[in-house]
Copies of this chain bind each other. A is one copy, B any other.
Amino acid sequence: MREKLDELKKRFALVDDLGRAAAVLSWDQQTYMPPRGASARAEQLATLEKLAHEHFIADENGALLNDLAEYAAQLPYDSDDAGMIRVTKREYAKAKRVPPALVEEMARAAALAFEAWHNARAESNFKLFQPYLAKNVELRIQLADHLGYSDRIYDALLDQYEPEMTTAQVEAIFTPLRKEIVALVQQIARKADAVDAAVLHREYDEQKQWDFGVEVIKRIGFDFARGRQDKAPHPFTTGFGLDDVRITTRVAKNFLPTMLFGTIHETGHALYDMGYRAELERTPLGGAASLGVHESQSRMWENVVGRSRGFWQFWFPRLREIFPAQLADQNVESFYRAINKVAPSLIRVEADEVTYGLHIMLRFEIENALVERKLRAADVPDAWNAKIKEYLGVVPPNDAQGCLQDVHWSYGDLGYFATYLLGSMFAAQLYDKVVRDLPALPEQIARGEYGELLNWLRANIHTHGRKFTLDELARRVTGEPLHARSYVAYLKKKFGEIYGV
């Protein structure tokens, strides 16, 4: 059986290599590729995705997995081998249902749609993107039909990013959560003037911002011997192996949080991608449990840590050294309040923590409507504008600041957005446990010390790679399934204090 397992590992190492190679091509496309390179790149990505898929669903793999089923049943559930066989079997069963031609077509369509989205956003012209979005939606409907689902078509798509989570489960959490958030937003709205964030819109030299960001993430634990940071129009993290994890960011001269919290956010992702055990490298477990778990890491560092008072007790003096004129009239407290100003706004990635969830819910609803054929691609701008007005009371002046703002749909990543909010919730739930385990943590953070937190995350989350689902991790680590209580309590306490509500 060891031989069969070794054979399985060898076969999946090749699949892993192809996936990582595609990740390099995609990273390059989003960072350095010259404009005219897009069409050849689309072919290359399609070929890599197709080959990876073909090698993944090879009948030999199915036979090996069958042969190993009995062996796996005798192994402890938590062991690497059991996990590897379990996760591979789950993913194999799904992948087997998808025709390689569809995989190839999705990859090619996505590469072309990314370029179209990029131009459409630059010109704020949704029409340029519309046919590509329609195509991506159509292909995802086909995909869901192949994957199968028992309740909602969206289940099949969500499951790609958040294994074993259902649309109904998400709605059961989102619906009451929405009431809580809307109530909090309304309370805060009555005291909108209590926080002044004008300081964030002063002029900050871009290179100095970049350098400060690098200083922060190095201290947090980003290892530049094992990764790098580049600029990209839509920031993301990608890994080409345990020891080559890339983050990207963007820098806005007149809005400090864009780079600052973007960089910390991606570092949270990167630490996760750098954190599984080396034995899992080039195996199906060498990665993240799910996007929700991934996002719990980025959100924890970005928000729970990065937007905390303690964090800025350490970093504000340093930031003021770098920008003495811009921050002359500020102190830790005023800066802390500024970076936590709550205000309904148009751009998701720049939204405050309180309104953020509403940005996600509107996307989750639009995606559901698209794949249930209740909404056409052509009608997305109107639907978007109506919903954001309803939830947040704001209306985008153009589509670049509306439905064209996110990159995800250009890749056809429908089913993805919900994981952002699940991640925020899970971050809060985990952090409740962290501070019980590490009572000295708040003081450490105020001293700029993050080692114990990182070690805790490594030991409880990162080390496992893809072995457990979000639900399994939640139960193992916190003793409960995923819930929104910690998240709601966190928002109410933090913003209640800031706004006096």
Contacts and interface: CB of A to CB of B under 8 A. Distances in A.
Interface in A232-264: 240-244
A22 to B, nearest CB: 8
B227 A34 contact: yes
How many identical chains are in the complex? 2
Contacts of A223: 36
Contacts of A47: 14, 17-18, 21
Contact of A37 (B21, B25, B32, B243): B243
Nearest to A25: B24
Interface in A17-58: 17-18, 20-22, 24-25, 28, 32-37, 39-41, 43-44, 46-48, 51
Given A17-B47, A18-B47, A39 B243 contact: yes
Given A21-B25, A28-B28, A226 B34 contact: yes
B282 A36 contact: no
A456 interface: no
A454 interface: no
Contacts of A43: 13, 17, 282
Contact of A20 (B14, B44, B46, B240): B44
Contacts of A48: 17-18, 21
A143 to B, nearest CB: 22
A228 interface: yes
Given A17-B48, A47-B18, A51-B51, A241 B40 contact: yes
A263 B259 CA distance: 33
A225 B40 contact: no
Nearest to A281: B40
Contact of A41 (B28, B226, B240): B240
Contacts of A149: none
Contact of A228 (B34, B40, B226, B281): B34
A216 to B, nearest CB: 18
B230 A37 contact: no
Which among A33, A41, A44, A242 has the greatest number of chain B C-beta atoms within 10 A? A44
Given A20-B44, A28-B28, A244 B36 contact: yes
A77 interface: no
B20 A241 contact: no
A14 B46 CA distance: 10
Nearest to A43: B17
B225 A36 contact: yes
B37 A241 contact: yes
A452 to B, nearest CB: 24
Given A48-B17, A240-B41, A240-B44, A226 B36 contact: yes
Interface string A274-309: 000000011000000000000000000000000000
A24 B35 CA distance: 16
B282 A37 contact: no
A404 to B, nearest CB: 23
Given A34-B226, A41-B244, A43-B282, 9 more contacts: A21-B22, A33-B244, A34-B227, A36-B226, A36-B243, A37-B241, A39-B243, A40-B240, A44-B240
7 contacts: A17-B46, A20-B44, A33-B244, A39-B241, A40-B243, A41-B240, A51-B51
